[in-house]
């Protein structure tokens, strides 16, 4: 038990000091074209949301934001990139789901979960705010109302 505590302590210390960014890899978009992750937030702030077609709170979050997406784009330059962590079983569902729901987000596919693993294998939904390549805000899970908090944070960070 003592050992575990020590490890936890080390990790807590590490967390305090850590700063991360997205990995330098490329993911395919829904047209099969490669998009480099580092190019996503060049000189700007974007929200990156990790989601999956089988994840109910993820769909709730993205549906909720979709309802006000245009407004928020105009008001605060809000931009969201939805990275699907669906594996090869369900990755084919992503395009019909996104189109069928009428989402306007940039959607990228991470079927091998490279991005997710890079971020420490978090549960989805995971919502990140990225400014000039650095992850500056991180929130997992979604309950209604969390979108308002996200818009607030975005405004604050994007400045």
Partner 1 sequence: MKKFLIALVALTTMQITIAQNNRGTFSGGFESNSQWYQDDDGLGTFAPQDQLRSNNYFTLRYSYDKFTAGIQYELFAPNPLLGYFEGFEGNGIGTYYLNFKHKGLDITGGHFYDQFGSGLVYRSWEDRQLGIDNSIRGVRVKYDFTNFLNATAFTGNQRVGFEVSEGTVTGINTELDLSTALDLETGIQIGASYVNRFQSSTSPDLNFPADVGAYSARADLTFNKFFLGAEYVYKEQDAFVLDGFVSNNNYQDGRALLLNTGYATKGLGINATFRAVENMGFYSDREASGNAFLTNTINYVPGYTKQQDYAVSNIYVYAPQPFVSPGEGKAGEIGGQIDVYYTAKKGSTLGGKYGTKFEFNYANWSGLDATFDVANNTYQASLLSRNEKYFEEASIAVKKRFSRNFSTIFTAVHTEYNTTIIEGSGDFLRGDAFIVDALYKLDGGQSIRMDLQHLSADADRGNWAAATAEYAFSPYLSMYVTDLYNYDETDIHYYSLGGSYTKGRTRVAMNYGRQRGGLVCVGGVCRFVPENTGLTLNISTNF
Phi then psi for residue 46, to 5 deg, are -135, 160
Answer yes or no whether residue 39 interacts with partner 1 by CB under 8 A: no
Answer yes or no whether residue 36 interacts with partner 1 by CB under 8 A: no
Assign 156 to helix, strand or coil: helix
Q: Which of 5, 32, 39, 43 binds partner 1 (CB under 8 A)?
A: 32
Is the separation of the CB atoms in 124 and 51 below 8 Å? Answer: yes
Answer yes or no whether residue 96 interacts with partner 1 by CB under 8 A: yes
Q: Which of 46, 97, 108, 109 binds partner 1 (CB under 8 A)?
A: 97
Q: Which helix (H) or strand (E) holds 138?
A: strand 134-140
Nearer to partner 1, 69 or 137 (CB): 137
Query: Rounded CA gap, 64 and 87, in Å?
Result: 24
Number of residues that bind partner 1 (CB under 8 A): 60
DSSP per-residue letters across 68-82: HHHHHHHHH---EEE
Cβ at position 18, least distance to partner 1 in Å: 4
Show contacts with partner 1 in window 98-137 (CB under 8 A): 98-102, 111-113, 117-123, 137
Q: Please, which residues have CB within 8 angstroms of residue 111's CB and are 6 or more apart in sequence?
A: 86, 87, 88, 91
In the complex, the residues that contact partner 1 under the rule CB under 8 A are 3-4, 6-8, 10-11, 13-15, 17-21, 24, 31-32, 34, 54, 56, 60, 63, 67, 87-90, 92-93, 95-102, 111-113, 117-123, 137-146, 148-149
């Amino acid at each position: 038990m003592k050992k575990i505590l020590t490890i936890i302590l080390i990790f807590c210390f590490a967390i305090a000091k850590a700063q991360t960014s997205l990995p330098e890899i490329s993911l395919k978009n829904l047209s099969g074209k490669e998009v480099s992750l580092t190019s996503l937030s060049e000189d700007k702030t974007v929200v990156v949301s990790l989601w999956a077609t089988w994840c109910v709170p993820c769909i709730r979050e993205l549906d909720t934001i979709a309802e006000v997406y245009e407004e928020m784009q105009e008001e605060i330059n809000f931009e969201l990139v939805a990275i699907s962590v669906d594996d090869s079983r369900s990755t084919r569902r992503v395009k019909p789901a996104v189109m069928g729901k009428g989402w306007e987000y940039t959607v990228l596919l991470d079927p091998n979960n490279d991005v997710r693993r890079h971020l420490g294998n978090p549960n989805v939904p995971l919502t990140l705010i990225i400014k000039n390549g650095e992850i500056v805000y991180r929130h997992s899970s979604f309950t209604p109302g969390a979108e308002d908090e996200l818009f607030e944070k975005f405004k604050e960070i994007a400045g």
